[in-house]
Amino acid sequence: MANTHCPQVIGVASGKGGVGKTTVAVNLSVALAKAGKRVALLDADMGLANAQIAFGSRSPFNVSHLLSGDKTLREIMVRTDDGVMLIPGASGRRDMAGISDTDINTIIQACDDVADDFDFLIVDVAAGISPSVMMFLAACHRRFIVLRDDPSSIADAYGTIKVMTLELGLEEIYLIPNMATSQASGWQLFKRMNEVCTRFLGRSVNYLTSVESDDLIFSALRKYKPVLSFAPASSGSRDFRRMAQLSIDLPSASQAHGHAQFFFQRLLDAEQGA
């Protein structure tokens, strides 16, 4: 099993928008790429796709061209300056916001076809708990939930966890407190959330690491660059490097529990060959 190539698929969700989901998805991808991993980022925030902006990359095509049948996944992918292969979302296309189950399956299948090229696939899903968000999250091996220490972010993160656990039976959920005043305060936020989940959902969640508040993360976005490229020595960059290392150290997807559909066939093949 050790030699079996098995891409790790991580969905990044938040419940509420504006808490740093895209920032985490983009910078985690860059940190993994800088650690020598082959990384693709699927911008699945249809309708509000902004991973392109965070990378400062311009792409002529996006998933809407994949879904219309005009392009293949390889044709719409772009290599960012940071070495991440970006699968651009369909920004500003209102018809993409209400994406169908068939479309989601088409995207997931297309990702499956390029699986061999990557060690990690990071999926930036939309805010909220719509069925399409849940379909993407259910297709991942594990889920990173970004949240801030404010009442609405906490409530929405809890709502997302509730649907994922009680309705979909998903496991492998990791909390990522963002814009924390310190690592210790991020850990405290995790502990509070975990207590609530344990008490009311009968499920515990996992902690990965926190991302501290760092003005350079915001400055980097204004320069259309991930903070890891804009300010590698900043606290934000340090936090994303730690997140990447912890992600690399997690047990591989073949051992992780989940309802993985991305690369599902490949996992079955791997298990049969083992």
Ligand X SMILES: Nc1ncnc2c1ncn2[C@@H]1O[C@H](COP(=O)(O)OP(=O)(O)O)[C@@H](O)[C@H]1O
Distance CA 79, CA 170 (A): 32
The residue within the footprint of Mg ion, chosen from 10, 15, 19, 22 (CB under 5 A), is 22
Residue 223 near ligand X by CB under 6 A: no
What is the x/- site pattern for ligand X, positions 165-184, by CB under 6 A? -------------xx-----
Mention every residue, 6+ apart, whose C-beta is less than 8 A from residue 78.
57, 59, 85, 86, 88
Residue 266 near ligand X by CB under 6 A: no
Distance CA 274, CA 35 (A): 28
Tokens of 42: 């699927």
Q: Which of ligand X, Mg ion, none lies near 14, with the C-beta cut-off 5 to 8 A by kind?
A: ligand X
Instruction: Report how far apart, in Å, the C-alpha atoms of 74 and of each of 9, 52, 107, 113, 164 are.
Output: 18, 16, 12, 10, 31
Distance CA 46, CA 106 (A): 14
If the CB atoms of residues 52 and 165 are measured against Mg ion, the closer one turns out to be: 52
Q: Which of Mg ion, ligand X, none lies near 264, with the C-beta cut-off 5 to 8 A by kind?
A: none
Residue 27 near Mg ion by CB under 5 A: no
Q: Is 178 helix (H, G, I), strand (E, B) or coil?
A: strand
Q: Which of ligand X, Mg ion, none lies near 19, with the C-beta cut-off 5 to 8 A by kind?
A: ligand X
The residue within the footprint of ligand X, chosen from 46, 123, 221, 228 (CB under 6 A), is 221
The footprint of Mg ion (CB under 5 A) covers: 21-22
The footprint of ligand X (CB under 6 A) covers: 14, 17-23, 178-179, 211, 213-214, 217-218, 221, 236
